[in-house]
Amino acid sequence: MFRIKPAQTPSLFEALAVVAAIVIIISTSIIYFETVPHIPLMLSLLLLILYGMAKRIPYQKLQEGFSEGAVSGMGAVFIFFMIGMLIASWIYSGTIPTLIYGGFELVTPNFYLAVVLIVTSIVGICVGSSLTTVGTVGLAFIGISGALDISLAMTAGAIVSGAFFGDKMSPLSDTTNMASSILKVDLFEHIKNMMWTTIPAFLIALVLFAFMSPNISSANFGEMEIYQQGLMETGLISWYNAIIPLGVLLVFSLMRAPALISLTAGIISALVLSVMHTVPSIGSIFGILFGGFVSETGIEQIDQLLSRGGMESMFFTIGIVLLALGMGGLLFKLGIVPRLFAAIESMLKNVKSVILGSALNAIGINILIGEQYLSILLTTETFQRQYEKVGLENKNLSRVAEDAGTVINPLVPWSVCGVFIASVLGVPTLSYLPFAFFCLLCPILTIFFGMTGKTLTYTKAHVQEQEKAKPLVQGEFG
């Protein structure tokens, strides 16, 4: 999308006015009127088209803009379809039911939310995908919380925090590899440098979740036993139902196989296991992969818990992704985003302003366009030269891009991750947002360290210049 050539160069006032109008339309519609994001996104897209036509830009060029923007999200569309099929196949094979059953065994009278954070973090690091973690282990914990009458918003906050901690710190993560490769920073050096902000954010979140965890009463445990008994009666609970598909997914991830291949392997392994407890027809398998698994145990709680997944369940999410990215493409074609970048660049004079500017830029792209990959890409492409000017190494920029880019995306109701998570977990983005402590703390810490100069790494050339300047200063004032 960043390669879309602007059809005009608007004034800064025009660019700000258009952005303000879009933010007002989307935020008011979602927060005040509590509507789904599709309609305000479509209204914003139409507003941009009318603005472009008023500026006498041919409609053909406007169409090219939103088409190119939407096309940039096709990779995510295929991933979402595969995750939908993965969820359906993992329920059908018994993988997710077994994970839920095993998760009940981890429940303790205290610190439940802290356990959720730790488990999702470990799985996130192993798998390297926040969305896969949310759609599998996260979905299992949502089921457990529903059974125990624990706040789903708090649980979702812990799941999102753990999943995105794992995503950030995993060498298998797409965003982690992307941020380091664009700036030619060694992958493990990038991960090591992120620890300055990521580990404190995780530890603070862990303490908060431990403190907020409800005391699980004997009544809760009684309800839990009912759920466990119901799950056992499905005939899907077996250790190998969980271990084998998870192991296959992990092996392919470690082999650095593309996400589509890894997810496909996870689906196939689950379908093979499903033959062990039933003899499905090809038609029924295809129906489950498309429409999702439908549980028919006769136990209402269990059927509600396990009737999920399928390609069809992703249509809502994919619709928003295409609309948001189409709007992003128009913002580039109309020169709105490039004009804002130009204005920001002129204000970058020192280390503090560069760190703050790049962090706000990453956050702003997530809010405006709703795409984390684009947030990382545009932030690194735009600010690399500014970091060099103030003598900062590239690994500082790659850290800021992730701290203020990767983890902000799940907090935006109309973003790729935000819509996916809300759809899969059944918890609105704005409901879990206050409890996604890790995601909220990362940008705060990265800006704090930028303002104080702590944990920043300067280039050798910059350090040498500073060393040379010291004797001169001492000579002048000595």
DSSP 300-344: HHHHHHH---SGGGGHHHHHHHHHHHHHHHHHHHTTHHHHHHHHH
User: Could you tell me the maximum CA-CA distance found in the chain, to the nearest angstrom?
Assistant: 89
pLDDT the model gives residue 148:
83
Mutual orientation of helices 139-148 and 218-233 as an angle, nearest 10°?
Answer: 130
Q: Can you tell me the distance from the alpha carbon of 439 to that of 201, in angstroms, rounded to the nearest whole number? A: 8
Q: State how far the Cα of 172 lies from the Cα of 253, in Å rounded to an integer.
A: 7
In this structure, are residues 44 and 327 in contact, taking their beta carbons and an 8 Å threshold?
Answer: yes
The residues that bridge with 392 in the sheet, in sequence order, are: 458
Blockwise average pLDDT, block size 10, the chain, 478 residues:
78 92 86 81 93 94 89 79 89 86 78 91 81 84 86 96 92 79 83 94 96 77 74 83 86 80 90 80 90 83 80 84 84 89 79 91 86 80 85 92 92 88 91 96 94 87 68 48
Distances (CA, A) of 9 to 55, 94, 312, 317, 440: 11, 56, 41, 33, 34
Query: By C-alpha distance, which of 420, 377, 385, 431 is closest to 402?
Result: 377
Contact in structure between 82 and 57 (CB atoms under 8 Å): no
Chain centroid to Cα 101, Å, comes to: 26
Q: In sequence order, what DSSP letters do the residues of 448-466 get, joined into one string? A: HHHHHTTT--B-HHHHHHH
Q: Report how far residue 326's alpha carbon sits from residue 68's, in angstroms, rounded to the nearest whole number.
A: 7
E strand map for 102-177: none
Number of Cα atoms under 13 Å in the Cβ half of residue 101: 22
Contact 237, 94 (CB under 8 A): yes
CA distance 400 to 29: 31
Strand, helix or coil at 44? helix
Structure tokens at 413: 């109701």
pLDDT at 470: 63
Q: What letters, b where the CB count within 10 A reaches 16 and e where it falls short, cover 175-205?
A: bbbbbbebbebeeeebbebbebbbeebbeeb
DSSP code for 21: H
d(CA 307, CA 297) in angstroms, rounded, equals 11
- What residues contact residue 74 under an 8 Å CB cut-off, 6+ apart? none
Q: For residues 300 and 306, what is the distance between their CA atoms, to the nearest angstrom?
A: 10
- pLDDT at position 239: 85
Long-range contacts, stretch 176-181, CB < 8 angstroms, 24+ apart: 176/128, 176/402, 176/406, 178/373, 178/376, 178/377, 179/376, 179/380, 179/398, 179/401, 179/402, 179/405, 179/406, 180/398
Residue 392, SS3 per DSSP: strand
Residue type, 203: L
For 312-327, what is each residue's pLDDT tens digit? 988 887 887 788 888 8
What is the structure's pLDDT at 476? 46
User: If we measure between CA atoms, which residue out of 31, 43, 55, 76 comes closest to residue 339?
Assistant: 55
pLDDT of the residue at 4: 75
User: How many residues in the chain?
Assistant: 478
pTM of the model: 0.77
In the chain, the amino acid numbered 278 is T
> According to the model, what pLDDT value does residue 466 have?
67
Q: Residue 363 burial (CB < 10 Å; 0-12/13-18/19+)?
A: buried
Integer Cα distance of 99 and 310 in angstroms: 19
Q: Which residue has the tokens 């269990």?
A: 302
Tokens representing residue 130 in the block: 């926040």
